[in-house]
Chain A
Amino acid sequence: EIVLTQSPGTLSLSPGERATLSCRASQSVRNTYLAWYQQKPGQAPRLLIYGASSRATGIPDRFSGSGSGTDFTLTISRLEPEDFAVYYCQQYGSSPSLTFGQGTKVEIK
């Protein structure tokens, strides 16, 4: 099973700042099959990025994903008030064994 480790656990930033979230895999993720999700309290996760860098339908372009192999990054170029949430990465390169990271909370500083 591929273990995904996200860092930092919590990111304290102000609106307008840039957020950089990391997701590191215990082994190489085949074909950059990595997705990112946003989850707000009491809500289901929402798909942001798939294939490491492709934005899902309706996702603003301030969200971008990059990376390959074992290291992946989600960048939010300028934080909007609605972006403060928990973010999860998920790999599907070892499908049908799917795993998620433990999450990074982006909170208002």
Chain B
Amino acid sequence: QVRLLESGPGLVKPSETLSLTCVVSGDSLTRGYYWGWVRQSPGKGLEWIGSVSQTGGTYYKSSLRSRLTISIDTSRKQFSLKVTSATAADTAVYYCSRHGSVRGDYGINYFDTWGPGTLVIVSS
């Protein structure tokens, strides 16, 4: 059974870079699945941030693209998120997740597995 676990600083200063890592256990990152990041601001709904393929192809939410970098290290079974120039608006619980398959095809679709989430606060 695949499990995901986010890690990273819980407090980031404004204008600095928010960095998180998601470690995957119970599965290989080379089976074709895509992997993503979703965040949830306090008391708010869910927002897809971006996703990455096993070969490192990246897909970002258009409004955040200029500040995002998502990367993958299949040998270490982890993928990472960086958000530059952080502001209070980036304060949220960040979830890493796995996309599912549609009729056997892998891609950017629904999320079938989620990590427990990690709270990141942007504040001085």
Contact = CB atoms under 8 A, between A and B. Distances in A.
A95 B101 CA distance: 13
Contacts of A45: 38, 46, 95, 111, 114
B116 A88 contact: no
Interface in A70-109: 88, 90, 92, 95-103
Contact of B112 (A1, A56, A99, A103): A56
Name A's interface SS. Answer: loop
A96 B114 contact: no
A1 B48 CA distance: 12
B8 interface: no
Contacts, number: 60
A33 B109 CA distance: 8
B53 to A, nearest CB: 10
A1 B61 CA distance: 10
Given A44-B95, A44-B115, A46-B114, A96 B46 contact: no
Contacts of B109: 33, 35, 50, 92, 95
Nearest to B111: A47
B110 A47 contact: yes
B108 A101 contact: no
Contacts of A51: 102
A12 to B, nearest CB: 19
B46 A90 contact: yes
Nearest to A90: B110
Interface in B43-102: 45-48, 51, 59, 61-62, 95, 100, 102
5 contacts: A33-B110, A45-B38, A95-B109, A100-B47, A100-B48
